[in-house]
Structures are given as structure tokens and as C-alpha cells.
Structure 1
Amino acid sequence: MAKRIAGDCGSISEGGIVHDTLERICELQPEYSPDNTPAMQERGRLVRSDLKTAIEGLRTPLAEALGSFGSDFLVEASDGIGRKTELPWVRFCSRNMSPNPTEGFYCVTHFSTDGSAVHVTVGCGSSRFHKGSSVPLPDHELNAQTDWARRVVIAEFGTVAPFDDPADFGAKRPLPISFQRATAISHRVPYSNIRATDFGELFDQAARRLRSIYAAQATGRDLTDADQRELEIAATLSPLSRYPGRQGYGLSAPARKAVERRAMDVASQFLRSKGYAVRDTSASSPFDFEATLSGKRIKIEVKGTTSDVAGDILMTANEVALHRSEKGNTALIIVSSIRLAEHSGVYSGSGGNVEWLLGWDVDEWLHEPTAFRVMRPRIAKSLPPS
């Protein structure tokens, strides 16, 4: 028997989903060839036309399942560019959040290479926005992305079920293997159970899990603080340019303020719990708190982020200079995983995980320039020496 799929909001109509199409693609999989053989021509037609059209027929309910991310609903399909691929696929997503298959997260249907099953999955591309541009993801970062997505789904739904099957499609070639590694959650439908499965409902549930991932991305939970800030800087410097997969989802100024307020509150409470007397200096100094304990004063920088990843942060030149000139007398507090709530345009922050770096040595961390102030020579000559 097929796994029973518990509906999140009731079954949706299967529309143009044709079980014959899914079965026939599976039957053609064992005849795979990289060449455009008659079998591969038939498979390509079924994937790129019949199945793609069937999923496009579910545009209205699937866009609704994606919530606010469904307004730019996109369906794409491929059986290989030039030479045929082991793993043909059809994907649907928000165009804004995943403008192409190498970027962002999306729902994608795969087929086992031996034709034994159909796999309805949520996975990600093999690149992401990092340090101002889109870069390929090394294995460890791709694993981190899929692990992060699973945690988001579990936080929202309590489990990854029914998308808890191994992402093993039988791929043997490098690119199809990367599709397997990029799969965050997967539901396997054996060939014998295709006709007993409501694929409309299954796609609906996949879309709702994708929506939870998009909602987390919308507040930058998958990007480090530095990546979030660089995205904002890039958008400011080139407002007409498109930045892959994240258009419109940088934090607004009010949202950023709420994150900063929450980080300061959490850091202050943390310092006081450690016995420090705390003075807020953020309005007048290049550091946020002066904290005193047993007659020793330290200057503390606070960085707050909605990110679940606290790998790197963005600092101003003045902040770096302070930590270098007063090394041993400064500290860094990173408050990550801050959650934002909005009501009538007013943002508030909650939660937050504290990382406390006392006696922090800024030179032990790697530094990379994010932006430069570039001045005309005549202006630079008129400025007083720094």
C-alpha cells in the first residue's frame, strides 16, 4: 500500500496529473541513454510537455499553498541540455526565490534511474548568494543548506514526514548525484503505488513545506549576518540590478532596528547575569556597551541577526580599529536566531542565541573587504589626514 498522506488543508484536485505519464516515464528510465534515442525522445516529450503541463494545471491551488510566495509561480522541466540526463525533472517554485535551478529552494519531481519509483522532493540549487555574488556550494555548505531546510520544516510541522525517505534515486553520474545531495526532504512513491497516490495532494504538501523555507529565507535565516548586510549594500549601490533569488527580501530599516534592539536587550541581560555593571554607549561610541566587573572595564560590540548561522559578521572600519587598538579589553557578543514579528507595520524581536567572545582577537578572524569609499582625487586632497 502507498503511504497515507495526511492532508494539511484537504485534498486538491489532481487536474491534469496523469498517472499514465508518470508510469510511462518510469518504464523508460531503464532505457536511459545520453543520446537522443527514440526512447529518450519519448521520455523528453512526457517530461517537458505532458507532466509540466499537468503541474501547470495545478497553478491556482499550488500558488495558494505557497502563500505570498505564490504570486510568481513557476514550472520548469528538463531531461538534459544537449545530451540526456539520468534524472529528468519537473520543478515548481517562486520565480523570485529560485530564478533558475542552480539557485534557491524548490519542489522537484525526480524518477529513479531503474524506473522503480517517483520521488516528490524539496531541494535546493548548487549555488547561493555569498560575498556579493552567486557562488557554487562546496559539499559541506550544500549539506548545511539541506540540513537547515530540514530543521525549518521540523520547526514548522513537527516532523519531515511524509517526506522522510532517503534521497537515493540511483544516480551514477556527477551532476545527477549532485541533485540527490541537494535534496532536503523526499517522498518516494513506488511504481506499483503510482495510481493509488493523490499527487495533487502530495504536491500541495510539498508546496506548504517549501513556503516555510521561503518564509525563513525572507528574514535571512539561511544567511550569515555579513551576507545579509552585503545583500543590502549591493541593493543600495545597484538598485536596478537583480540579485539572485532574494529580490525584495532584505530586511527593511524598521525590521533591522527591531533586530538591533532585541540583540542589545539580550546582550544586556546576559552581561548583567554574569555580574557586570552595564552602560549603553551605542549612541556616542564605536562600541555598544561598557561593562565593568571587579574594577575591570571592557568595551563590547553587539551584533544581532535573524540568521541561524553565525559564521561571519560585518564590521565598520572604526569597529575593527577599536578592537585592534584595544585588544584584550574588548569583547564581542553575537545574538543569532532572533525572530521577527510584525503587527500593523511595527516590528518586534524575540528569542536569540548568545555567543560570548571575551578577550576577542579580531586579527584571528579572516577579513575581506565588502565595499570601498572611492573618492575623486581633488576631493581626497582637500580632506584632512586621517
Structure 2
Amino acid sequence: MSTPDAVRRRKHTCHAGTGRLIRGNLKTELDAVGARLAAALGPFGGDLLIDASDGIGRKTELPWIRFCSRKMSPNPTEGFYCVTHFSTDGSAVHVTVGCGSSHFHKGSSVPVPDHELDEQTDWARRVVVEEFGTIAPFDDLADFGARRRLPISFQRATAISHRVPYSDIRNTDFSKLFEQAAQRLRSIYDAQSIGRDLTDADQRELEIAAVLNPLDQVGSRQGYGLSAPARAAVEKRAMDIAAEFLRSAGYAIHDTSASSSFDYEATRSRKRIKVEVKGTTSDRADGILMTANEVELHRQEKGNTALLIVSSVRLSERHGAYLASGGKVEWLLGWDIDEWLQEPTAYRVTRPQTGQPTRPIDGGLRC
């Protein structure tokens, strides 16, 4: 692969020629190793996307070229992807894995505030460490020398980065480096595919949105969606962990999940409480979805209810069956639901019963 020569040319190319280099030479060379990158992405490599930008029109301070799964990152503002940046002074090239600057919330994509962007990149680093034991060799500071607002946001959106100084370009195996970056990107995609980067509430909202608007790509969340068997495995794991936790805390328990709007009736020292169990693959336990009946229960019987959240449940599939494992317990005894923010996510809209037969509106379509 002649990438080192193309990268060297970047340092000596005038600004007008940068676009031809970024969108031409480098993209062509990445295309040539596309099969290796697709293999490293595993199940996410079937729709490999390679694109680039030098800020067509108004040239950007920080040109880039990226590759990813088209489904997981349809454009540079969404999802995670491998992206190569060039130092603004031409001193180095940076091979990175980063994310876009927008995310899903209540059915649409919105800009990510700085603190949430930091949370996303920190989450991605934890996923990589969980899979590989370290972020090396992508443990360099993401400092590309940017001074303008948008390029600075690219730096902030970088989760892991490997810096290759200009003097080392000829001795660097970029094909191998890109392949390693793709492997780490796959681990992030694997985690996203079971919603680990979303709160439980966001997961459930997406599932609802996918049912109500099956053709809406934003509502369906690129790459995400637990099947009914997978969801059942997560919920069973949460119930099992909750039962074990409650018994170890000295409670006698009765499973009421099939007949009531809570999951366990737990008794200790003649004190009886109603326990709601929420299980999720999410690594974030700061948002859950509840039914109207569940909300009403916690309001009416405040002080006599508890919430038990089992987060970070892991899923594996074997011969079509799902196995759930792991899980972190958060026990909220005497939970006050009114201390949490509550937002409506969907409405049930019912036609009023007038006793008159429903008639089509004149001019309406008839089959």
C-alpha cells in the first residue's frame, strides 16, 4: 500500500490540491484494502463505507478520510467510525476512532453537548479496554492542532487515537494500523448493537418508534434493535438477579410479575414492599421507561415501593437461543418517583364512542 507516500504528499500539497489528495489518492488506497477492513469489521463490514472531505467549498482546517459501516454511521454526524486526520501543520497523521456530534433523543437527532460527547467517547474507550485489555496502540492525545470551532469538536469526538509523526510515515504499516482500528470499531459496534450506549428509556423509545414508524430510519436507530427472545432473556436475567439480591438482603419474596404492575412482593421484619425490576443491556442506569400503571403505583404507595435496576446485562447467542449474563444492581428502597424527571414518550389516541357508525369522510380515498 502506498499510503505513506500519499500522506507525505499531504504535507507538501498546496491547499487547492488537498481536496484531490484526500478525496482521490487516499480514498483510492483505502478502497484497495477494503476487503481487509470489511473482514476486520466482521458482521458490520458488509456495507463498508469509505468517504472523505476537505470541506468542499470553504476548505476546512482539518481534512479527513473515514471508513465505517454505512448502517452504523450513515453520515459523519452519526455513529462511530474510523477516521484519519492530518495535523494542521503537517507534522503528523492521526488514525483514530471517533463519533459524530449528534445523537438520538425522543425520536430525532440533536446536537450532542460537550459533556455528553465526553461521555460517549469515554464509554467507547471502556468498551475497547473491555475487549482488548488496553487502548494501545491508540493511546495518543487527540491533538491535531485545530484552532477553529468545528475542527476542535472533531478532536473532542475522538475516542482513541494513534499519532504517526511525519518522520515515521515511511516506516509505518498503515494497512495494519487501519485494520487494528477497524477491529476496535467492531467492538464498539457490537456493544451498540445491543444498546449498551443508550439508557433503558432510549432503548424502549426506539422500539416503540420502530413499531409506529417502521420506515423511519431515525426512529429505528441505525444498527440497534433487540428481538423479542433477546429482550425476554434480559428480563429473565434481571428477575433472577433481583431475586438473589432480595433474598441475600433478608427478604422473603413472592413473584407478582404475571398479575400485577410490580414484579416482587418482598417482606422483611413484617414490612412489606412492592419491588419494580428493570433489566437492561445499557451501561447507563439513568433513564428507564415505565407504564402508566407503574407510575401510578409508585406515586400512590410512595414509601412502600422500591426500584431495582439491573444494568449492563450481556447477551450471547448460540444456535438461535439467547443467553444473558452479568448485570449490575442498583437498589432504590423507598424510591420517590417524583424526584426523577418524567416525560411522555407516546400517547394512546382513542376514537370517542358516539354510538353512531363511522363513515368515511367525503373525498377520502376508498379501496
- Name the TM-score, length of structure 1 as normaliser: 0.90
- How far the C-alpha of 1:258 sits from its partner, in A, is 0.3
Closer, same or farther: CA 379–150 of 1 in aligned 2, 3 Å = farther
Determine if the alignment matches structure 1 residue 186 to structure 2 residue 171: no
Preserved CA contact (<8 Å) 1:113 1:170: yes
Pairing of 1:1-386 with structure 2 (within 5 A): 14=1, 17-28=2-13, 39-243=14-218, 246-378=221-353
- How far the C-alpha of 1:57 sits from its partner, in A, is 1.2
- How far the C-alpha of 1:360 sits from its partner, in A, is 0.4
Q: Which shows bigger deviation, 341-350 or 313-322? A: 341-350
- How far the C-alpha of 1:248 sits from its partner, in A, is 4.7
Preserved CA contact (<8 Å) 1:156 1:212: yes
Preserved CA contact (<8 Å) 1:99 1:244: no
Q: Which shows bigger deviation, 232-241 or 245-254? A: 245-254
Preserved CA contact (<8 Å) 2:210 2:219: no
- SS for the counterpart of 1:187 is strand
- How far the C-alpha of 1:134 sits from its partner, in A, is 1.2
The residue type paired with residue 36 of structure 2 is: P
Higher RCO, Cα 8 Å, sep 6+: 1
Question: 1: distance between equivalents of 2:260 and 2:154?
Answer: 49
- SS for the counterpart of 2:353 is helix
Q: Deviations over 1:244-298 (max 9, x none)?
A: 7833521100000000000000111011111000110000000000000100100
Q: CA RMSD in A?
A: 1.5
Closer, same or farther: CA 342–242 of 1 in aligned 2, 3 Å = same
- How far the C-alpha of 1:372 sits from its partner, in A, is 0.3
The residue type paired with residue 330 of structure 1 is: T
Question: 2: distance between equivalents of 1:243 and 1:48?
Answer: 28
Gaps of 5+ in 1: 1-13, 29-38
Gaps of 5+ in 2: 358-367
Q: Deviations over 1:124-152 (max 9, x none)?
A: 00011122221111011000000000000
The count of aligned residue pairs is: 357
Question: 2: distance between equivalents of 1:254 and 1:374?
Answer: 29
- How far the C-alpha of 1:323 sits from its partner, in A, is 0.3
The residue type paired with residue 298 of structure 2 is: H
- How far the C-alpha of 1:18 sits from its partner, in A, is 3.1
The residue type paired with residue 44 of structure 1 is: G
Q: Which shows bigger deviation, 129-138 or 304-313? A: 129-138
- How far the C-alpha of 1:58 sits from its partner, in A, is 1.1
Report percent identity of matched pairs.
73
